[in-house]
């Protein structure tokens, strides 16, 4: 009887240990990360991209997969958003006002369900609660995380930009993709 209890206790301990998530701290790698904002106007589609991403993450992981979030912080300089069309960048910067709002940030504290991440996105000085689709993959010793979702200019009390005296006007809806490459803090 004593031996059976000992074996069951050992198996329970092994089960608990192998199913426990470990909290790991990461920093965003200097290369490989980017934020992409895509939208459309009454004339054409457009994209703004920044590859100057900074931040950190405290995540719970199990078997190379993210199981929960303690905190994720992603920041970029507003002026780092680039477009192949100089007029588009100029109009975007008029709306975003980088002098007054130099940083765009996303701070996540929650995974409300598998494949989702929730947090606060700050653009042009306004916070908006957002939820994005979320995937993670461990490649080459680095954790690659992608968050995708829909946002609106009006989520941040911004009017969609326009050009040529309002004849070209951006639509309110935007697609946002955040790709971050994380390196474990040693």
In the chain, the N- to C-terminal Cα span, in Å, equals: 45
Q: Encode pLDDT of 107-156 as tens digits.
A: 999 887 789 999 999 999 999 999 999 999 999 889 999 999 999 999 99
Judge whether 136 and 147 are in contact, CB under 8 Å. Answer: no
Write out the H or E segment, with its range, that includes residue 157. none
* pLDDT averaged over every residue in the chain: 88
What CATH class has 21-184? mainly beta
Give dist(CA 89, CA 83) in Å, integer: 6
Judge whether 29 and 143 are in contact, CB under 8 Å. Answer: no
Q: What does the pLDDT read at residue 74?
A: 98
pTM summary value? 0.84
Domain boundaries defined on the chain:
21-184
40 pLDDT exceeds 80? yes
Q: What does the pLDDT read at residue 1?
A: 53
| Phi, psi dihedral angles at 171 (to 5 degrees) | -80, 160
């Amino acid at each position: 009887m004593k031996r059976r209890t000992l074996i069951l206790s050992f198996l329970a301990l092994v089960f608990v240990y192998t199913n426990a998530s470990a909290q790991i701290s990461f920093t965003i790698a200097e290369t490989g990360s980017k934020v992409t904002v895509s939208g459309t106007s009454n004339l054409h589609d457009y994209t703004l991209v920044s590859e100057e991403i900074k931040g950190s993450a405290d995540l719970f992981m199990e078997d190379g997969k993210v199981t929960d979030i303690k905190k994720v912080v992603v920041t970029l300089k507003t002026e780092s958003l680039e477009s192949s069309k100089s007029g588009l960048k100029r109009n975007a910067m008029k709306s975003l006002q980088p002098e007054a709002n130099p940083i765009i940030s996303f701070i996540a504290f929650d995974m409300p369900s598998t494949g989702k991440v929730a947090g606060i996105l700050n653009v042009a000085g306004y916070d908006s609660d957002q939820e994005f689709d979320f995937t993670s993959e461990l490649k080459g010793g680095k954790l690659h995380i992608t968050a995708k979702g829909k946002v609106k200019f009006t989520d941040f009390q911004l009017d969609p930009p326009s050009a040529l005296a309002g004849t070209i006007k951006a639509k309110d809806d935007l697609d946002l993709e955040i790709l971050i490459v994380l390196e474990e803090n040693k």
